[in-house]
């Protein structure tokens, strides 16, 4: 990825250019995702991404910021996050507030109005990532609604801070709880699904480029099979990438039952899941994968 973060690029003009833009950031999107991203940018709506863990939700915001040459402002949500800490933790906002406070001290305090969401030197509004919104509670959602409706925040001692140009907003959720309709209504919603085998193989090509083609195919085949199994926590794309790297470290050239059993902890993170797959089930799935690859002419 060769990105000049100091020159802002124009927003993509079509679904195809959006696909290409994400591709430049090593993000392999399918057309429906590129369409959602394109429309959210075009219609200036926040993009609301829901999906299981490790399917590439957060990465979309990072790649958009990188490829568009915008600053990324990330607000990591957590249980008990309140408005005040959100505003202060919001690094960039905090800096702006401190600057404004200092200025207000000299010039007398009225309401402080400043563009906290746009960074002039970067030539375009930043990407605001509100990550894992489902971890916060409802009062915080109400506060977000305020931000998303007029892109301004009100801080008791300081006043109201308003963005000159609205940022590109990406919200993610793992759906550990439902997000309110009022918030969803303001967004463009997209469910990020697990990739199919073809796309997951493409992802491996860019994210684990050293892996041999045959090994990558076996890995993808095995992970895809695992995702049809009844497990407590299915492996995401992140796990597929990690597993590939782990197998490469061990100089594994082709999947074997032993290699799988020795490295299952990279793929599955619950002992019950590991217990279920280890041994005969791994062998059964692997045999199916090898047979299917052979039948497909590999």
Residues that bind ligand ATP (CB under 6 A): 26-29, 51, 53-59, 172, 174, 203, 207, 237-238, 241
Q: Which residue of this chain has its Cβ atom nearest to ligand ATP in the complex?
A: 56
Determine which helix (DSSP H) or strand (DSSP E) holds 75, and give its type and residue range.
strand 72-76
Q: From the CA atom positions of the chain, what is the Rg in Å?
A: 22
Residue of 22, 34, 58, 163 that binds Mg ion (CB under 5 A):
58
292 Cβ neighbours under 8 A, 6+ residues apart = 221
What does 53 interact with, of Mg ion, ligand ATP, none (CB < 5 to 8 A by kind)? ligand ATP
What is the rounded CA–CA span in Å between residue 73 and residue 117?
9
Residue whose CB is less far from ligand ATP, 28 or 264? 28
Residue whose CB is less far from Mg ion, 58 or 136? 58
Residue whose CB is less far from ligand ATP, 89 or 115? 89
What is the rounded CA–CA span in Å between residue 92 and residue 153?
14
Size of the site for Mg ion (CB under 5 A): 1
What does 83 interact with, of ligand ATP, Mg ion, none (CB < 5 to 8 A by kind)? none
Residue whose CB is less far from Mg ion, 58 or 216? 58
What does 134 interact with, of ligand ATP, Mg ion, none (CB < 5 to 8 A by kind)? none
Residue whose CB is less far from Mg ion, 18 or 58? 58
Q: Beta-carbon neighbour count of residue 204 at 10 Å?
A: 24
What is the rounded CA–CA span in Å between residue 197 and residue 205?
12
What single string gives the DSSP state of each residue in 137-172? Answer: -HHHHHHHHHHHHHSEEEETTTEEEE-SSPPEEEEE
- Positions that interact with Mg ion (CB under 5 A): 58
């Amino acid at each position: 990825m060769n990105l000049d973060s100091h020159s802002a690029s124009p927003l993509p003009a079509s679904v195809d250019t959006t696909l290409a833009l994400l591709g430049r950031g090593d993000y392999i999107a399918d057309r429906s995702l590129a369409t959602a991203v394109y429309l959210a940018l075009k219609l200036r709506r926040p993009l609301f991404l829901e999906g299981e863990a490790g399917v590439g939700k957060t990465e979309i915001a990072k790649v958009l910021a990188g490829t568009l040459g915008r600053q990324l402002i990330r607000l990591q949500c957590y249980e008990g996050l309140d408005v005040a800490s959100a505003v202060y933790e919001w690094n960039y906002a905090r800096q702006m507030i401190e600057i404004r406070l200092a200025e207000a001290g000299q010039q007398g305090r009225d309401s402080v109005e400043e563009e906290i969401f746009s960074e002039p030197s970067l030539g375009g509004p930043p990407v605001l990532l509100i990550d894992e919104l489902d971890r916060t509670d409802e009062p915080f959602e109400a506060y977000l609604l305020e931000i998303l409706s007029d892109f301004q925040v009100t801080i008791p001692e300081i006043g109201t801070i308003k963005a000159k140009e609205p940022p590109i907003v990406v919200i993610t959720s793992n759906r550990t709880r439902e997000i309110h309709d009022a918030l969803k209504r303001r967004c463009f919603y997209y469910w990020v699904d697990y990739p199919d085998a073809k796309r997951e193989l493409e992802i491996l090509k860019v994210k684990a480029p050293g892996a041999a083609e045959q090994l990558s195919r076996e890995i993808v085949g095995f992970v895809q099979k695992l995702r049809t199994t009844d497990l407590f926590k299915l492996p995401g794309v992140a796990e597929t990438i990690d597993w590939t790297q782990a197998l490469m470290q061990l100089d594994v050239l082709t999947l074997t039952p032993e290699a799988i059993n020795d490295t299952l902890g990279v793929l599955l993170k619950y002992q019950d899941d590991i217990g279920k797959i280890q041994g005969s089930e791994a062998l059964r799935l692997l045999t199916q994968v090898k047979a299917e690859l052979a039948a497909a002419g590999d």
